Amino acid sequence: MFLLVMGVTGLALAGLGGVAMAETPNVAPLKLAVLGDSLTAGYGLPASAAFPVRLQRALKEKGITVDIVNAGVSGDTASGGRDRLDWSIPQGTQAVIVELGANDMLRGVDPKVTRAALDEIVQRLKARDIDVLLCGMYAAPNLGEHYARAFNSIYPDLAKKYNVALYPFFLDGVVDNAALKQADGLHPTAAGVDVIVQRILPTVEAFVKKVPPARAVL
């Protein structure tokens, strides 16, 4: 919401019969990045169908203006995202959606390693005064109950530890629908990405509305 604010000088001019123009604060778009793997990067899809692009469009349709950086790298693990964090998330970024861990799970990486990497990512982003939305991932059933318990608990535990927003499962609505996945059975089609965006949108809306707006210098 934009507020029309009249300065002291403007009030004085109005009192003298002059015409005073009310100044409107110039609110800059929210600077947001999505730090992720191929699910963020848009593997197998045109750039226009990648999750960050579709999310930015969906937010715009809701009247929420954001500039979203696609910081997704196909094949990346949580440890890989941690190692490139400083150069992947540019200065001035106000909020980050973290979507990492799927490759850790697919490769059977020890959940302790994944947890430590994600913990450091969230910690370092918060140290930069960047708001975080953590996207969860669930372990595949074939990895066993013990692995699933250790892996699935990472995301809610970290969200609680650092008091950050959580979206429980990034692939909600897609993982069990073959029609929304590419031939590899793993990556979403363009229609699948739209389902992901539709499902996560209410969480992202609530998240970005809590991030203090950056005001451009007049």
Return the structure tokens found at 40.
């963020």
Cβ 49 vs Cβ 42: under 8 Å: yes
38 given a catalytic annotation: yes
Confirm whether 146 is a catalytic residue: no
Q: What angle do CA 191, 192, 193 make, to 5 degrees?
A: 90
Nearest-CA neighbor of 72 among 42, 49, 116?
42
At which residue do the structure tokens 């699933």 appear?
Answer: 148
β-sheet with 165-167: strand ranges across: 66-72, 30-36, 95-99, 131-135, 165-167
Q: Which of 88, 104, 187, 194 is catalytic?
A: 187
Cα separation, 157 vs 108, in Å, equals: 20
Q: Which residues lie closer than 8 Å to 63 by C-beta, 6 or more apart? A: none
User: Catalytic pick from 37, 38, 104, 131?
Assistant: 38
Active site residues: 38, 184, 187
